[in-house]
Structure 1
Amino acid sequence: MGKKYANAPVYFTIGQVRHNTLLSLKAYLPAIQERMRKAGYPDFKSAQQMQFSFGAITGGDDTQPFQPGVQQIESYTFSNLEGTQGFLMEPSALSFRCTEYETFPKFYAELERGLSILEEAVDGLAYFERLGLRYLDAVVPAEGETLQQYLAREVWGTPASLDLNQMYQFEGQPLTYNHSFAESSATIPSIGQVVSRVVAQNSELRFPPDLLPDPLKVGERFRGLNGQHATVDVDASFSERRKYDSTEIKDRFQHLHDLVELFFNATVTDYARKAWS
């Protein structure tokens, strides 16, 4: 993550800042859209999202069917012409998403630019309450290679308990590595939490169900991927309501990046790093 690989496996990155709710966000859109256009994000779209709330039932007539609360939230996207990076803006959050990743300093510079545009348009933000940084990497072995050469044994799943010869031959038949899932989580006080997931599968490239990359396009070298690969999904976050301070936000994102890098490097092998270099 910190080092730029010639064949980097990153296919999606998102950085998000959750801030105080802006109920009048729509009124600021003309000024925001003009600044985004000049910053290189002229493709503008708006969409309605449905948000459900499920409250606890504490009494009343239990013969009546339970009706979850439904709220419509309008969101706005500002993307570049290539469709490889852009912002998702909601009343209480700004996210920067990218499918053509270079380095963290370049990535964060764009997130910071978007935050600056929003902050100036609404005449300041009062607080932030969550920062999130998430990377998706596609680990794809070349012909003649195996996933196990790229991934640490701890995240192999069940095949880790098998002898390598057993793994590829069972009663004379090849054993195909179809699917496995590994997850770990850790918290560092005052820094944040990190959740690392590794999903090995034999399929086309997929996104986790909680991530919607639209309207972005997946990088060209990942579009035709359909076969044996693993998705390394590392998600770091800091949650605490604090006064909005751009310097503190930048420092905390650097800490989150360091957490992501730590877990990613523990997930892949030296063989993988050499192959990507």
Structure 2
Amino acid sequence: MSPVKRTLPALEFTNSPLIIALAQVRMTPVLSLENYIPKLQDLLRATGYPRLIKRVIKATRQDAIGKMDVIESTDWVFGDKAGHFALLVGERGLGLFTSSYHTFEDFAGRLNECLQLVHQVVNINGVERLGLRYVDLIEPTPEKPLSYFLESCVLGLPLQELGKRVSGLSQTIIETSPHQKLVVRTTERSKGLVIPPDLLSLQLKLRKPNTLEQPFGILDLDHFAEYPETDDYDTASVIRKFGELHDIVDQAFRKATTDDAKSDWK
């Protein structure tokens, strides 16, 4: 695998706020995917993914005349024994999810291996979208509020003079280049689930409790690229593009978090 692009040296934390990282690939549809699952499972079991969950997902869609249709799709989630990694494979794409992230280089190496295995079995024809997402759990204390960890640019309006702040949601979308966008979301809650709802069904085991009974914040960084003209599939090219997406996410994380926070996490 080629060296990963880095504008800045890698951050190293012993008490990282990161709870989930994921990379998603939306590919040209493979409607006969279910026929490939037995062979794919054999390869993934031998590679360290013995667990398997089959998910049937139903969603509603409204057509041009207002009629509502129910769309059903199926995907398969292959997991490791420890519950720290999950590979999701569906008709329109795949994703690698982890709650045990160390460096992007390590993550990219595992992603590279998974992509090659899936391509070996399914023969991916092209990529329509790539996305890289990081979910950080910020745990304030009475002495160190959320503003100690996060810069004001991602916290939204304070408005303390109007009353006690009990929750908050801030979102910024930045076009980092043509066909590429970075979404920065900050959520502030008084208590509850720390995992974003769309990631719950993966059943990953977190380093932190799934729910907290005290206030917390979530910093959610999502950088994605869409390709209007689908290129021929090449694993090395996909990993290189993920490296470029990561380089921007890394810079965004540094700008969104304070120097005090980064010092505490070391």
Give TM-score, length-normalised by structure 1.
0.86
Aligned partner of 2:245 in structure 1 is: 256
Q: Does 1:233 align with 2:220?
A: yes
Question: Greater CA deviation, 198-207 or 19-28?
Answer: 198-207
Q: Does 1:132 align with 2:118?
A: no
Q: 2:202 aligns with which of 210, 215, 220?
A: 215
Distance apart, 1:191 and its partner CA? 6.9
Distance 1:262 1:133 in 2: 14
Task: Give 3-state SS (helix, strand or coil) of 1:89's partner.
Answer: strand
Supply the AA of the counterpart residue of 1:41: Y
Does the 8 A contact of 2:194 with 2:212 survive in 1?
no
Change (3 A) 1:258 1:191: farther
Distance 1:41 1:238 in 2: 28
Aligned partner of 2:5 in structure 1 is: none
Aligned partner of 1:242 in structure 2 is: 231
Change (3 A) 1:107 1:45: same
Distance apart, 1:142 and its partner CA? 4.2
Q: 1:8-23 to 2 correspondence within 5 Å?
A: 8-23=16-31
Supply the AA of the counterpart residue of 1:101: Y
Question: Greater CA deviation, 239-248 or 72-81?
Answer: 239-248
Supply the AA of the counterpart residue of 2:250: E
**For the pair shown, which has the larger CA radius of gyration, 1 or 2?**
1
Task: Give 3-state SS (helix, strand or coil) of 1:217's partner.
Answer: coil
Distance apart, 1:92 and its partner CA? 1.3
Does the 8 A contact of 2:20 with 2:101 survive in 1?
yes
Task: Give 3-state SS (helix, strand or coil) of 1:16's partner.
Answer: strand
Q: Does 1:104 align with 2:104?
A: yes
Distance 1:257 1:33 in 2: 29
Does the 8 A contact of 1:130 with 1:237 survive in 2?
yes
Supply the AA of the counterpart residue of 2:146: L
Distance 2:245 2:51 in 1: 29
Distance apart, 1:268 and its partner CA? 0.8
Distance 1:275 1:109 in 2: 29
Aligned partner of 1:184 in structure 2 is: 172
% identical equivalent positions: 25
Q: 1:52-201 to 2 correspondence within 5 Å?
A: 52-57=60-65, 66-122=66-122, 124-142=123-141, 144-159=143-158, 176-190=164-178, 192-201=180-189
Supply the AA of the counterpart residue of 1:118: V
Does the 8 A contact of 1:41 with 1:79 survive in 2?
yes
Distance apart, 1:53 and its partner CA? 2.3
Distance 2:10 2:129 in 1: 23
Task: Give 3-state SS (helix, strand or coil) of 1:207's partner.
Answer: coil
Question: Greater CA deviation, 139-148 or 246-255?
Answer: 139-148
Supply the AA of the counterpart residue of 1:216: Q
- Give 5+ residue unaligned stretches, structure 1: 58-65
Does the 8 A contact of 2:179 with 2:226 survive in 1?
no
Task: Give 3-state SS (helix, strand or coil) of 1:38's partner.
Answer: helix
Distance 1:72 1:128 in 2: 22
- Give 5+ residue unaligned stretches, structure 2: 1-8
Change (3 A) 1:44 1:145: same
Task: Give 3-state SS (helix, strand or coil) of 1:227's partner.
Answer: coil
Does the 8 A contact of 1:191 with 1:252 survive in 2?
no
Task: Give 3-state SS (helix, strand or coil) of 2:112's partner.
Answer: helix
Task: Give 3-state SS (helix, strand or coil) of 1:76's partner.
Answer: strand
